[in-house]
Structure 1
Amino acid sequence: MTLFAGLAAFSITPADASGHVDTAALARLLERICAAGAESIGLLGSTGGYAFLSRRERQRAVEAAIECVDGRIPVIVGVGALRTDEAQALARDARKAGASGLLLAPMSYTPLTDEEVLQHISAVAEAGQLPLCIYNNPSTTRFTFTDDLIVRLARLPNIAAVKMPLPAQGDVAGELARMRSRIPEGFSIGYSGDWGAADALLAGCDAWYSVVAGLMPAEAVALTRAARAGDVAEARRLDRAFQPLWNLFKEFGSFRVMYAMADLLGLVGVDPPRPILPLGKTDMARVKDALTRIAL
């Protein structure tokens, strides 16, 4: 099985107000993911707040994660950075620490062209010398990968997968068929956007890059396994239980909601990095209600 397959659970990265990572708290979260049976851990993705952390703190997080999992589960490390040389250094750090793969979004203050993104990702993939997943996250990066660009990247060494947003028109099956007709065999196509996970998995995508699995891995594993087994009724039943939480993800952004969840579940009590503010009492109550429905 390819590295980029099944459920990739993306954890938050607990840190104090100065950006110092609480490696013990991170290890506790990752241990839950290992125990639940996810296929991989996504570390320092958008959910992991990579953009808010220094290179040294990102190194500490990766080293702690690799020590915690001790070879039980692959760790995919986000290495996004504004500068190409910085992203290359982060890729080398991840490889040295023992990461299994890399995840790269084209961060930039200045809008990027296709050629700039191609050269950026190619350079980081060469530096990291690990299987790399392209992170197509236009809501954050303001850059949307075209099919043509993904096809060009998929033919380059070390580039093995793409993490896609949900298609605007909801036709995951059509998008998968279109892209698979053009990319090399074995190149993985996965999706983020947890509220569309059931549809994407049932349509036959290779991977679910899951936010919620970072804190509720057992429930996310159950949904993944039902969908991948073709058990439509069970996948839909589990997805319906998640709907109030999916609605909160859409309303507030999953990053804010995950910090609220971590507190309410008693897993770790830290605020998101500033300038992101924690949810207020009324909205926290809504998150609690959504968690209760999932538990039921």
Structure 2
Amino acid sequence: MKISGIIGYTVTPFDPCTQGVDLAKLGEVIDILLAGDVDAIAALGSAGEAAYLTAQEWQQVAEFTVKHVAGRVPVIIGIAALTTAQATTYAKYAHQFGADMIMLSPFSYYQLSEQEIFEHYQQVSNASPLPIMIYNNPAVCGVDMTPELMLAMVADIENVVAIKESSGDIQRMHKIYHLSEGAVPFFNGCNHMALEALTAGAAGWCTAAPCLIGDKPKQLLQAVANSEFERAQGLFYQQFEFLEFIVSSGLAAAVKAGFALKGMDVGGPRAPLLPLNDAKQKQLAQLLSNLR
């Protein structure tokens, strides 16, 4: 299955009384993303606080997301685990639940060699037939994969088919495009680089922004696709300050605060993460008002 366009990220709502996952609210979040004209739904990323969920909660979110989307768009399940054993277990669950793709990023305590990273991806590929998107997010995961390594994994590991690049270096994207002669789809994972990435040939943009600003990211993507560069630039700078804000303030906390401002309580982030303070909530309210 080929996936492109806007990949919308869910947050994971928590019940204010039980502090457990609120699946009913998760359904509402998914519906809001679909209304924002996303081309795929991605669950269990950093916006979804996957690192703070129990194994049982992770399974609940993955299974519910696939069932609720019900084939309307492809579903991508994020997997980031310290051990290969845990990553392969989650990959098997994602396949069992009916996901369309997994987005795999290695977490590091010890510094991993390129051979260790390669073997990690190889074993996950062996455990599940699902297509794999490599996710390079060195700031969060502590592992920085070079374009050469990621392209070697696409070439040599059966199910590895795409790359999400979140290092913040546009030259990485240019290199992926150049070295693969445009044959390997890569996705932008840095909100503030969306315009540069799309004009550099990115197949899509992975973002939680449609949770709060609807189809504005899709409008930007379509403007670039239609070579309407002046319009694309205008759309991007309309969103730029908001995109910077949600990243710098913490995706989970910022998006959940945005939902609250819109009258939808999805709970706060899970400790040790903290909700936005009053000043940041006011700043976010103003940014959202400007984007109406």
State the TM-score, normalized to the length of structure 2: 0.93
In the TM superposition, 1:180-219 aligns within 5 A as: 180-183=177-180, 186-219=183-216
Q: Which amino acid aligns with 1:73?
A: V
Aligned residues: 290
Q: Pairwise mapping of residues 1-296 of structure 1 onto structure 2 (< 5 A)?
A: 2-3=2-3, 5-16=4-15, 20-155=20-155, 156-165=157-166, 167-168=168-169, 172=170, 175-183=172-180, 186-295=183-292
Secondary structure, in 3 states, of the residue corresponding to 2:106?
coil
User: Which amino acid is the alignment partner of residue 90 of structure 2?
Assistant: L
Identity of matched residues, %: 27
Unaligned runs of 5+ in 1: none
| Residue 149 to residue 19, structure 1, CA distance change in 2 (3 Å) | farther
Q: How far, CA to CA, are the matches of 2:213 and 2:101 in structure 1?
A: 23
Does the 8 Å contact 2:165/2:173 carry over to 1?
no
In 1, the alpha carbon distance for the partners of 2:50 and 2:185 equals: 23
Change (3 A) 1:244 1:178: closer
Equivalent pair of 1:47/1:211 in contact (CA under 8 Å): yes
Contact 1:19 1:53 in 2 (8 A): no
TM-score by length of 1: 0.91
Q: Deviations over 1:19-59 (max 9, x none)?
A: 62111111111112223321101110111111111121111
Question: CA-to-partner distance for each residue in 1:159-211, whole Å, 9 max, x for gaps?
Answer: 0111002543xxx3x54443234338642111111111122112221111112
Q: Which runs of 5+ in 2 are unaligned?
A: none
**Cα deviation 1:92-129 (Å, max 9, x = unaligned):** 10111110000111112222221111111111122121
| Aligned mates of 1:62, 1:261 — CA distance in 2 | 23
Match of 1:79, SS state, is strand
Report the Cα distance in structure 2 between the residues aligned to 1:180 and 1:22, rounded to whole angstroms: 40
Assess, with a 3 A threshold, how the Cα gap between structure 1 residues 207 and 19 changes in structure 2: closer, same or farther.
farther
Root-mean-square deviation (CA), in Å? Answer: 1.9
CA shift, 1:250, in A, is 4.6
Q: Distance in 1 between matches of 2:248 and 2:48?
A: 19
Q: Is the 8 A contact 1:11 1:215 kept in 2?
A: no
Report the Cα distance in structure 1 between the residues aligned to 2:138 and 2:272, rounded to whole angstroms. 21
Give 1:164's aligned amino acid. Answer: E
